[in-house]
Amino acid sequence: GRRVALRNERRQAPSNEALPGPDSSDSGSGAAARVVVYCAQQGSHGIDVYSEAKKLKKMGDGKKLTFDIELQTTFGDFHRTMIDACKREVRMVHFMGHGGEGGGLFFWIKTSNPRESEHVEPELIAKAMQESFSRNVKGGSGGTIEACVLNKCSTIPLGEELRGRGLRHAVCWLGAVSDEVALEFSQWFYRFLEAHPGKYREAFKAGNLQVELLKKGRLNDGFRKPAGSVCLLSEAGDILPEGEEEETWEEAHDGQECASEEPGGGAGQASGVEEDGETRFLNNPKGEAELEAIEKLGFPLLLNGYKLTAGIRLFEANKIQEAQLGKYGLHALPARHGKKPLVGILPAAVKYLFADKKVASDAQITTYTSHQLWGDGGPLVRRS
């Protein structure tokens, strides 16, 4: 809240007074738009930028939006494509992956390790883009880039740097943003632009509306509200969130989809029960057998599009980190005595997957070990 308030005060005077005043419209060209999407991973963090990029690319039908996907982008690759942006008639730039301290971005380093990256400061990124802006502080107007979407955590500093150098519209995030929220926003943002080319401000509002609906829906279903407060810095006037506090990356990604565990033992963990083959965890012999039987009963075990059993397999294969288990409705206990970490299911995920809202007794289902889940009259017995 305090940071947003300070930014509002500072922006009472435009940061780029040398530019013409804001138009009443979005000031976009309205022409068919080529969007260049840059993807780069940071270290071993589990954001699947490639899957997200594919979802965006499917939205372009070649008439109004065309997406060029640049995978594993180095800063040199990025600079080269910015030099060629006018020739290719690029109107928008989109970044996905990880934001860094101070608002910079991570770019890939060409090594044998596909996840090795370097952090680049906002000033250098903005300098590499400036000459291709459709309008810039040097008075140039021969470029084509009208807008940039910084779909990464804590990107307000970079958005301000881009606006200060003349970019017309910059979409950025206050603090951390969950993967789910970032993808939801971008899909609706571009869906609107496909129908209304150049209407960046209205597209921002459409994307932000869906984000707010998503957050409300998660809370209504008993989950923790996903992190993410999106901002528009624009020559037509900034749109900033009101009363939002920044969240850390850990707060946004550790169990981001689900409510906190209940006191006295987490989901899938009965108080006082040891880690053995009889415990109702999901990745020991008993748990694996139970999940197989539950699926045969017709329970899809899908949480917001994420397959619970897929999350277990990915975690055990070290393809996702513990912080990413939350979006699958899972959590892990620390390994003991050299054993592998055992995986349980979060309370909100249990209620989401098994409780029938039409059945009053199902409201008492709070954990995977609840008698109301497994006992007579419970969802499993009813389905069987």
Helix (H, G, I), strand (E, B), or coil: what is residue 285?
helix
Q: Is 267 a residue whose pLDDT tops 70?
A: no
Q: Are strands 147-151 and 90-97 parallel, antiparallel or unpaired?
A: parallel
Read off the pLDDT of residues 159-196 as tens digits, 9 standing for 90 and up: 999 999 999 999 999 888 888 888 899 999 999 999 99
- Distance CA(304)–CA(18), nearest Å, equals 47
Read off the pLDDT of residues 37-56 as tens digits, 9 standing for 90 and up: 887 655 444 456 667 777 77
The pTM for the full model equals 0.59
pLDDT of residue 4: 40
Token pair 């990604």 is found at: 253
Q: How far is CA 197 from the centre of its chain?
A: 24
Closest CA to 154 of 188, 106, 199: 106
Closest CA to 50 of 42, 59, 41: 41
Mean pLDDT on 290-311: 87
Q: Is 112 a residue whose pLDDT tops 90?
A: no
Indicate if the alpha-carbon torsion angle 251, 255, 259, 260 is positive or negative. Answer: negative
Beta bridge partners of 40: 97
pLDDT of residue 280: 63
Q: Is 246 a residue whose pLDDT tops 80?
A: no
pLDDT of residue 167: 94
Q: Which residues of 262-296 are buried (b: 16+ CB within 10 A; e: fewer)?
A: eeeebbbbeeeeebeeebbbbbbeebeebbeebee
Can you point out the beta strands (E) in the chain? 33-40, 65-70, 90-97, 105-108, 117-120, 147-151, 169-174, 229-234, 302-303, 306-307, 330-332, 343-345
